[in-house]
């Protein structure tokens, strides 16, 4: 139910970045809606101007064997999916809550625990990836300082310090995240320009044969998973501080451009760098140093660490509010603390495991299974109800408009699992898992259409099973007061 008092409240002003945000999935009153689309643009830009995306571009050339031209085509096509991230940022301003608070409208408060759990695992997984890469960069810095072998105790120190620093911005909350990432965007752009200059100086166009269309689909799946589709579950966690009357077009453009521009530029730069790297070079954040002049290695590693902290901030903040949707009685700050402890434990294993990078690539591909169907269900539900939400019912876990059959909306759950099953048939996460169709088409490496199948089946089934009832529910829900 929309708060009547919101109609008379002026838009709020941004709080101090040192003020701790105590709100989690709770409704954001109109008086605290201080955000603007430009805030989202710079926040996303500050996070995505990141060496992780440089690595993704390198993978297309070095691991999947694409030519530079093929890689550029796939990168551009794959990053068009950032429009999905923009569309998945439209619900927060209307509903006043986080992504997996809004998701209760489609799945029900109890049924929503299923995708919430999947998302929580996904966000923590990305946090672990970031922390591990930060520690590896710290080890590389120690090597540059003359320490040939970094002892175990020092690696543990790096890990403890990294986890402690990572927790600061998510603990402070939304305002600190937006402002700090906006500040970091400009120096990250400068770093990109320097790296682009180095790569352009070295790059020599070759008439490489390139890879099969099947290999191109696998790389496309990775780009989409790490990019536009992979951020849809975060969008409303940050857009919920915008007034409900904010232009939809402005939100979509701000998010899609703030994410898409740096992602395309960095991945294309990575593809060019991969074309020039020695065959023995590692396709990692630290391994890319072989593509840069010696004097630039230390500044590059320092910036890489700062960038990894920046992108991890979004993951840790979102994992905290997602855990709160799973266990509503937990305070947001307690959720951040729990996620930090879990991240520390699993990252310690990952850092000392020889299989870290294979585990990372498997993780990026397997999350497609749940993300595609969920994204389609989430966006179709929003479209069917014309983006109208009963904010009070979204936060009611024992009754209200969305409680339905004991808190479960079965059409969404059926669509989710059917979509996941269909996606699994064409998922190519070689070598641990290759779907039935993935291994039969596309050449030696197979192919991967799991993203598109998951989106289509999940969305189509939900439309067929719940289209009429969701339309009726949306028509009966009052428009939010702007």
Res. 295 pLDDT band, cuts 50 70 90: confident
pLDDT at position 217: 94
The residue with greater pLDDT, 84 or 61, is 84
pLDDT digits (tens, 9 = 90+) for 33-78: 888 999 999 999 988 988 889 888 988 888 888 999 999 999 999 9
Res. 9 pLDDT band, cuts 50 70 90: very low
pLDDT digits (tens, 9 = 90+) for 400-444: 899 999 999 999 999 999 999 999 999 998 778 889 999 888 888
The residue with greater pLDDT, 201 or 284, is 201
pTM greater than 0.85: yes
pLDDT at position 279: 60
Token pair listed for 111: 């049924």
Rounded to an integer, what distance in angstroms lies between the CA atom of residue 373 and that of residue 352?
34
- Specify the DSSP element, H or E, that contains 428: strand 428-429
* pLDDT of residue 5 exceeding 50: no
* pLDDT of residue 384 exceeding 60: yes
φ/ψ (deg, to 5) at 90: -85, -20
pLDDT at position 42: 92
Domains of the chain by start residue, with CATH? 4-475 (1.10.4160.10)
The residue with greater pLDDT, 202 or 95, is 95
pLDDT at position 325: 87
C-beta separation of 291 from 273 below 8 A: yes
pLDDT at position 2: 41
Rounded to an integer, what distance in angstroms lies between the CA atom of residue 106 and that of residue 407?
11
pLDDT at position 205: 67
* pLDDT of residue 481 exceeding 60: no
Rounded to an integer, what distance in angstroms lies between the CA atom of residue 378 and that of residue 100?
10
Distances (CA, A) of 423 to 96, 367, 419: 32, 11, 6
Average pLDDT value over all residues in the chain: 87
Rounded to an integer, what distance in angstroms lies between the CA atom of residue 415 and that of residue 465?
8
pLDDT at position 231: 93
Helix segments in 145-247, DSSP class H: 152-166, 168-172, 174-202, 213-226, 235-239
* pLDDT of residue 278 exceeding 70: no
Rounded to an integer, what distance in angstroms lies between the CA atom of residue 334 and that of residue 319?
12
HSE-up (13 A, CA, CB side) for residue 159: 23
Percentage, residues of the chain above pLDDT 70: 91
* pLDDT of residue 480 exceeding 80: no
Res. 129 pLDDT band, cuts 50 70 90: confident
pLDDT at position 255: 97
φ/ψ (deg, to 5) at 179: -70, -45
* pLDDT of residue 193 exceeding 80: yes
- Give the residue among 235, 207, 200, 172 at the shortest CA–CA distance from 23: 172
Per-residue pLDDT, averaged over 176-189, amounts to 85
pLDDT at position 456: 97
* pLDDT of residue 4 exceeding 50: no
Token pair listed for 385: 């109800």
Res. 127 pLDDT band, cuts 50 70 90: confident
- Specify the DSSP element, H or E, that contains 429: strand 428-429
Res. 478 pLDDT band, cuts 50 70 90: confident
- Specify the DSSP element, H or E, that contains 188: helix 174-202
Per-residue pLDDT, averaged over 254-265, amounts to 96
Q: How long, in residues, is the chain? A: 482
pLDDT at position 8: 39
Per-residue pLDDT, averaged over 450-462, amounts to 96
For 428-481, give the DSSP string.
Answer: EETTTEE-TTTTTSSSTT----HHHHHHHHHHHHHHHHHHHHHHHHHHTSPPPP
pLDDT digits (tens, 9 = 90+) for 213-229: 999 999 999 999 889 99
Beta carbons within 8 Å of 339's beta carbon, 6+ residues apart? 123, 124, 127, 316, 319, 320, 323
């Amino acid at each position: 139910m929309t708060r009547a008092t919101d109609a008379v409240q002026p838009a709020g002003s941004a709080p101090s970045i040192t003020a701790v945000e105590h709100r989690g999935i709770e409704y954001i009153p109109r008086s605290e809606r201080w955000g603007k689309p430009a805030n989202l643009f710079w926040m996303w830009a500050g996070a995505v101007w990141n060496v992780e995306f440089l690595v993704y571009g390198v993978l297309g050339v070095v691991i999947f064997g694409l030519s530079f031209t093929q890689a550029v085509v796939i990168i551009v096509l794959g990053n068009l999916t950032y429009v999905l991230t923009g569309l998945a940022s439209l619900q927060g301003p209307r509903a006043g809550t986080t992504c997996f608070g809004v998701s209760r409208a489609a799945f029900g408060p109890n049924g929503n625990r299923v995708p919430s759990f999947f998302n929580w695992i996904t966000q923590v997984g990305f946090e672990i990836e970031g922390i591990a890469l930060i520690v590896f960069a710290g080890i590389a810095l120690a090597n540059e300082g003359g320490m040939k072998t970094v002892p175990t105790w020092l690696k543990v120190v790096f890990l403890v310090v990294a986890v402690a620093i990572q927790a600061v911005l998510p603990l402070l909350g939304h305002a600190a995240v937006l402002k700090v990432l906006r500040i970091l965007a400009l120096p990250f752009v400068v770093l990109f320009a320097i790296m682009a200059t180095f790569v352009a100086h070295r790059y020599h166009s070759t008439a490489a044969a390139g890879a099969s269309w099947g290999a191109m689909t696998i790389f496309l799946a990775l780009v989409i998973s790490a990019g536009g589709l992979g951020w849809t579950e975060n969008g409303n966690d940050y857009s919920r501080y915008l007034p409900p009357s904010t232009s939809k077009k402005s939100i979509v453009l701000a998010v899609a451009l703030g994410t898409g521009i740096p992602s395309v530029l960095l991945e294309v730069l990575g593809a060019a760098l991969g074309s020039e790297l020695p065959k023995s070079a590692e396709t990692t954040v630290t391994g890319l140093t072989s593509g840069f002049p010696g004097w630039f290695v230390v500044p590059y590693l320092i910036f890489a660490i700062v960038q990894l902290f920046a992108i991890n901030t979004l993951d840790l903040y979102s994992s905290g509010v997602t855990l709160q949707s799973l266990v509503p009685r937990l305070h947001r700050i307690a959720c951040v603390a729990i996620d930090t402890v879990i991240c520390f434990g699993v990252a310690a294993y990952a850092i000392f495991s020889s299989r870290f990078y294979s585990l990372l690539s498997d993780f990026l591909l397997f999350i497609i299974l749940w993300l595609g169907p969920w994204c389609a269900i989430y966006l179709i539900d929003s479209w069917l109800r014309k983006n109208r939400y009963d904010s009070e019912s979204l936060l009611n876990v024992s009754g209200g408009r969305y409680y339905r059959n004991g808190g479960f909306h079965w059409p969404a759950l059926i669509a989710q699992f059917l979509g996941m099953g269909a996606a699994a048939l064409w998922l190519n996460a070689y070598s641990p898992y290759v779907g039935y169709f993935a291994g039969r088409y596309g050449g030696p490496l197979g192919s991967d259409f799991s993203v598109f199948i998951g989106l289509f089946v999940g969305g189509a089934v939900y439309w067929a099973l719940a289209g009429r009832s969701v339309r009726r529910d949306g028509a009966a829900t009052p428009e939010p007061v702007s």
